[in-house]
Amino acid sequence: MAIITKIRTIRLKEMPNVIWVEIETDEGLTGLGETYRASEAVEAMLHGEIAKSLIGKDSRNIEAISRTLTTPYVGFHSTSTELRAASAIDIALWDLYGKRHHIPVYEALGGACREAVPTYNTCAGYSFNVSSKAFDTGNSRRAISDEDEMKGPYDDQIAFNRDAGKLAESLLSEGYKVMKIWPFDPFAKETQGNRITQGELAKGLEPFKKIRQAVGDKMEIMCELHSLWSLPAAIEICKALEPFNLLWVEDPLCKMGDPETLRILKNQVNVPICGSESVAGLSTFRNMLNSGGIDYAMLDIGWAGGITEACKISAIAESFSTPFAPHDCTGPIVLWAGLHVAAHSPMAVFQEIVRANMATWYKDLVTDLPKIKNGMLQLPEKSGIGAELCPEVKKRKDVVIKETW
């Protein structure tokens, strides 16, 4: 059998944004899942509402469990605490499936559509998303001051603010051909994203100018707008970015799930639009795609319902001939999950990474990380998701472990 016997959550006080879920079964296997942000709320949701209902269930019935945990009365079709918890459970169930049959998850999904998955570097710093003030648009995750000093060679958020051209040269030297930056974020706080001045606009364009001056078109560029802007401000920013031939502008609007506003934006600008890590639900993505307002579909597997939902959303994107790209700058197991889905999905064009995370706290938490060669993520080789938590994680003084059985 493959009956669920225990559900365990693990989180670290030093890294309060990330939480892991382990599911044990009576066959002696353990599946590992992960989600990000509101970890204490996710912990409460898992042990207070979800875990008891899953004990005694057959872990092989992933689709049935997914539908139960993502119905409107539980998940509310948004990236809620409920869906974060459901996402972690779903990833762990797929990890179990792969381990049970001694195959990587992408093989369990139906096999790979490519020999390797293209990646791009999100140009964040070493502590990006380890801990953040989620409701402060001017927090240090996004605003760099003159006093900030680089903590190492991959402190890329400081680097793109200081000399984005030099950063592009560094990335090219390591095989990366695509980079993502967000120089406009600090300007949203003053007006809650309702407008941007000409001076702010000019300052935000400087990194793009430096990249093109340094490396020309050898580097493709993405601009992340983090869902901070009103429609008029987003139109102004996107129009200003048109001469730089960007690969995409990501999450330009504060309400990315609104298909009509997306359509209005897309009809007034000449840049590709990507969205959105901030939304979930099959109907939400269908409506966004049907509006013609996005050119690339992105979702976070740790927020939108896990691997099961990600594959369904990818299939919807395929029906609109729209490329698909899993998000990750939040945790190593979600990165693994995204890589499996991107390997399998015929519409996948990228799997996001943060090289600063890969070089530091990701490798400190899990036994293995995806291998990168010439800007391409190599396909996972191990059974299941591809990694376990390092044994030291559960022995740390700041660890919080809770179990339901």
Partners of residue 8 on adjacent β-strands: 22, 403
SS (H, E, C) the chain: CCEEEEEEEEEECCEEEEEEEEEEECCCCEEEEEEECCHHHHHHHHHHHHHHHHCCCECCCHHHHHHHHCCCCCCCCCCCHHHHHHHHHHHHHHHHHHHHHCCEHHHHCCCCCCCEEEEEEECCCCCCCCCCCCCCCCCCCCCCCCCCCCCCCCCHHHHHHHHHHHHHHHHHHCCCCEEEECCCHHHHCCCCCCCCCHHHHHHHHHHHHHHHHHHHHHCEEEEECCCCECHHHHHHHHHHHHHHCCCEEECCECCCCCHHHHHHHHHHCCCCEEECCCCCCHHHHHHHHHCCCCCEEEEECCCCCHHHHHHHHHHHHHHCCCCEEEECCCCHHHHHHHHHHHHHCCCECCEEECHHHHHCHHHHHECCCCCEECCEEECCCCCECCCCECHHHHHCCCEEEEEEC
Q: Could you tell me if 305 and 371 lie in one domain?
A: yes
Cα separation, 249 vs 178, whole angstroms: 13
Instruction: Tell me if 193 is assigned to some domain.
Output: yes
Query: Token pair of 172, please?
Result: 């090219």
266 shares its domain with 400: no
Q: Are 235 and 269 in contact (CB under 8 A)?
A: yes
Sign of CA dihedral 361, 364, 370, 371: positive
Rounded Cα–Cα distance for residues 2 and 399 (Å):
28
The answer to whether the beta carbons of residues 284 and 257 sit under 8 Å apart is yes
Within a domain: 174: yes
Contact 103, 95 (CB under 8 A): no
Q: Are residues 227 and 129 both part of a single domain?
A: yes
Same domain, 44 and 175: no
Q: Do 277 and 235 lie in a common domain?
A: yes
| Rg, C-alpha atoms of the chain | 20
Residue with tokens 């001045």: 197
Would you state the structure tokens that stand for residue 305, as one six-digit string? 């319902």
Q: Does a structural domain hold residue 399?
A: yes
In a domain, residue 183? The reply is yes
Domain that holds residue 43: 4-105+389-404
Residues 58 and 206 in one domain: no
Using an 8 Å Cβ cutoff, are 7 and 23 in contact? yes
pLDDT < 70 positions in the chain: 72-78, 128-142
Q: 132 and 147, same structural domain?
A: yes
Phi and psi, residue 157, nearest 5°: -70, -40
57 and 81 Cβ atoms separated by less than 8 Å: no
Residue 212 covered by a domain: yes
Cβ proximity of 279 and 257 under 8 Å: yes
Q: Is residue 383 assigned to a domain?
A: no
Residues 281 and 360 in one domain: yes
Residues 79 and 155 in one domain: no
Residue 273 exposure: Cα atoms within 13 Å on the Cβ side: 29
CA 373 to chain centre: 21
From the list 291, 349, 362, 354, the residue with the least C-alpha distance to 320 is 291
> What pLDDT score does 168 carry?
98
CATH number for the domain spanning 121: value is 3.20.20.120
Contacts by 368-374 with C-beta closer than 8 Å and gap 24+?
A: 369/332, 369/335, 370/335, 370/336, 370/339, 372/119, 372/175, 373/116, 373/175, 374/175
Between β-strands 273-275 and 248-250, what pairing exists: parallel, antiparallel or unpaired?
Answer: parallel
**Domain identity same for 145 and 75:** no
Residue 384 placed within a domain: no
6 strand-pairing partners: 24
> 176 and 253 in one domain?
yes
User: Total structural domains in the chain?
Assistant: 2
Pair 70, 86: CB distance under 8 Å? yes
Taking the complete model, does pTM exceed 0.85, yes or no? yes
My answer on whether 33 and 112 are in the same domain is no
CB 285 within 8 A of CB 310: no
The CATH number for 46's domain is: 3.30.390.10
